[in-house]
Amino acid sequence: MSAAYKFGSIPDSERRYDYQDVFSFEKNPRLERLVIAPSAKQVTLMVELLGAMPEPYGILYVLVVPRSEAEAGRYQAADFRSRNETEDFLGRFKDFFENDGRHHVWIASRPSPDLLVYDRHNVIYAYGRLPQFERIVLSRGLSKVDDVKFPSPHTHNYNEAFDEDEEELLRYWPWLRSPLRDNDC
Cα separations (Å) of 69 from 100, 163, 175? 17, 10, 16
Total domains in the fold of the chain: 1
Whether 123 is covered by a domain: the verdict is yes
Assess if residue 55 is contained within a domain: yes
Three-class DSSP category at 88: helix
7-21, 27-41, 81-95: which has the minimum mean pLDDT?
7-21
Q: Decide if 86 contacts 107 (C-beta within 8 A).
A: yes
The answer as to whether 168 is a domain residue is: yes
Is 87 within a domain?
yes
Task: Examine the pLDDT at 73 and tell me if it is beyond 90.
Answer: yes
In a domain, residue 8? The reply is no
Q: Which residues pair with 28 in a beta bridge?
A: 31
> Percentage of residues in the chain with pLDDT exceeding 90?
82
Which of the two residues, 47 and 154, has the higher pLDDT score? 47
Q: Cβ of 106: how many Cβ atoms within 10 Å?
A: 18
The model carries a pTM of 0.94
Beta-carbon count within 10 A of 74 CB: 19
Instruction: Please list the helix, strand and coil fractions of the chain in percent, rounded to the nearest 5, in that order.
Output: 30, 30, 45
Residue 29 lies in a domain: yes
Instruction: State which amino acid sits at residue 131.
Output: P
Range of the domain at 36: 20-148+160-184
pLDDT in tens, 113-143: 999 999 999 999 999 999 999 999 999 999 9
* Count of beta carbons in the 10 Å neighbourhood of residue 172: 17
pLDDT tens string 143-157: 999 999 988 888 888
Q: Which of 5-14, 41-50, 119-128 has the lowest mean pLDDT?
A: 5-14
In this predicted model, what pLDDT tens digit does every residue of 107-116 receive, in sequence order? 999 989 999 9
- Looking at the DSSP bridge assignments, the partners of residue 61 are 75, 105
- Is the predicted pLDDT of residue 43 greater than 80, yes or no? yes
For residue 79, is it within any domain? yes
Which pLDDT band holds residue 1 (cuts at 50, 70, 90)?
A: very low
Of 145, 126, 147, 161, residue with least CA distance to 6: 161
Residue 12 pLDDT exceeds 70: no
Q: How far is CA 144 from CA 6, 7, 22, 38, 148, in A?
A: 24, 22, 6, 11, 9
Q: Is 93 inside any structural domain?
A: yes
pLDDT at residue 11, as a whole number: 73
Task: Look up residue 180 and give its amino acid.
Answer: L
Bridge pairing between strands 57-63 and 154-156 = unpaired
Reported as a single tens digit per residue, the pLDDT across 16-35 is 888 999 999 999 888 999 99
